[in-house]
Amino acid sequence: MIDLRSDTVTLPTPQMREAMYRAEVGDDVYGEDPAINRLQEMAAERLGKEAALFVASGTMGNACAMLAHAGRGEAIIVGDESHIYRYEGGGAPMLGGCPMKVIPTEPDGMLDPLKVKLNIDDGSDEHSARTVLLCIENTHNRCGGTALSVEQVEMLTTLAHAHTMKAHMDGARVFNAAVALDIPVSELVRSVDSVMFCLSKGLSAPVGSLLVGSRDFIKRAHRARKALGGGMRQAGILAAAGIVALEQMVDRMAEDHENAQRLAHGLADFPQIDIAVERVMTNMVMFSVRNSAQESLTEADTLQFLAKTQEHGALMGTMGGGKIRAVTHYGIDAQDIAAALAAIRRALIEMRL
């Protein structure tokens, strides 16, 4: 089965398994796990920030960041298509009493600075919550893995900082963005106050994410992680795989991006497939299928189409509204892409589209 549902399905590499087996570990709640300490130092250095914190998941990292930046009754600006807003169980509002101000996400994952500005509140009017944090996402998942450039990021962080707000980047796939833009990741995150990135997606480690920022911020995030039950004791077993991920799995992401291009161009050859090839910037391909009347398939027909591609050996996911997502990752090669395209062709024929 060629599993293109997500880069979260990646399995640890043999080098990761070996490093996990040999990991030197200790009680991380006492700060005594050498593998975790090393991973945190590596992450901070790589991203050009003072400190880092190992967390169980991207969701936990984003929650710790929001709790560390915003207090009760302090508002956070997010995009309507952001992972933080749509898929994290309402973390900060639920856990921290922080309202979210939601603005429309542009098709490339950007937030329109004008719309952000209109939602900034300095708290001088007691009717409204003061906005203290702006969250951006890079790469942007629901926009199809689009990468925001340094200029786009800085446009938003400059605006936030001008209003004494902080800026947090949900960089679950920030290494994909840096590889696609061909710049050091530190340059891409230079202007944000905090970044969360995941080890367990395109970097292929089994578990874990890192939250990175100033020493003072990480101290507050550490308290939030404790409150969330994220003190994981001998989790150096997991961090050991993360160290291998940072050392060995970043540069190879370029292959995933090439395979996404292959897939996108192959899909564009089918007249029934609706795809904006120019939007494919990293490891995600988003498309929809049209029927003979040139309309997008209904959600039920989309699910039937996906069941057919699965029958022929290719798994993909739906994002709702007839949108299908395919994600390339470690373990998927050019031959797999050719096989996935063949499965899609057969599904189109069998559904008489």
Ligand X SMILES: Cc1ncc(COP(=O)(O)O)c(C=O)c1O
Q: What is the DSSP letter of 164?
A: T
Give the single-character DSSP code of 278: G
Q: Residue with structure tokens 């395919």?
A: 326
Pick the binder of ligand X from 3, 33, 137, 336 (CB under 6 A): 137
User: Residue 105 in contact with residue 144, Cβ under 8 Å?
Assistant: no
**Applying CB under 6 A, does 83 fall inside the site for ligand X?**
yes
> Which residue, 7 or 74, has its beta carbon nearer to ligand X?
7
Cα–Cα nearest to 88, from 58, 110, 133: 58
Select 304 or 318, whichever has its Cβ closest to ligand X. 318
Nearer to ligand X, 131 or 209 (CB): 209
User: What residues between 156 and 185 interact with ligand X by CB under 6 A?
Assistant: 170, 172
Can residue 63 be called a binding residue for ligand X (CB under 6 A)? no
Distance (Å, whole) CA 289 – CA 324 = 8
Q: Single out the residue of 59, 157, 204, 282 in contact with ligand X (rule: CB under 6 A).
A: 59
Strand partners, 273: 289
3 binding ligand X? (CB under 6 A):
no
Nearer to ligand X among residue 36 and residue 297 (C-beta)? 36
Q: Three-state DSSP class for 3?
A: strand
For position 332 contacting ligand X by CB under 6 A, the verdict is no
The nearest distance, CB 156 to ligand X, in angstroms, is 16
Size of the site for ligand X (CB under 6 A): 11
Nearest CB to ligand X, comparing residues 105 and 200: 200
Which amino acid is located at 120 in the chain?
I
Q: Which of 131, 141, 152, 194 binds ligand X (CB under 6 A)?
A: 141
To ligand X, the closest distance from the beta carbon of 169 in angstroms equals: 10
Match 């900034």 to its residue by tokens.
120
**C-alpha to C-alpha distance for 99 and 85, rounded to whole angstroms:** 11
CB of 138 to ligand X, least distance (A): 9
Helix or strand holding residue 64 (H, E): helix 58-69
Nearer to ligand X, 200 or 283 (CB): 200
DSSP label of 296 = B
Maximum CA extent, the chain:
64
Q: How far is the CB of 342 from ligand X (least distance, A)?
A: 28
Tokens of 353: 């589209």
- For the beta sheet containing 131-137, the strands, ordered from the edge strand earlier in sequence to the opposite edge, are 51-55, 209-213, 194-198, 166-170, 131-137, 75-79, 100-103
Distance of alpha carbon 176 from the chain centroid: 9
The token pair that represents 327 in the structure block? 């994600």
Q: Is 58 in the site for ligand X (CB under 6 A)?
A: yes
DSSP states of 193-229 as a string?
SEEEEESSSTT--SS-EEEEE-HHHHHHHHHHHHHTT
Q: Which stretch binds ligand X (CB under 6 A): 53-61, 102-110, 125-133, 248-256?
A: 53-61
Half-sphere exposure of 120 (CA within 13 A, CB side): 22
Show contacts with ligand X in window 191-230 (CB under 6 A).
198, 200, 209
Q: Name the segment binding ligand X (CB under 6 A); options: 56-64, 213-221, 271-279, 302-310.
A: 56-64
Task: Considering only the stretches 57-65, 144-152, 308-316, 341-349, report the one whose residues sit in contact with ligand X under the rule CB under 6 A.
Answer: 57-65
Between 7 and 121, whose beta carbon lies closer to ligand X? 7
Residue whose Cβ sits closest to ligand X: 58
Residues that bind ligand X (CB under 6 A): 57-59, 83, 137, 141, 170, 172, 198, 200, 209
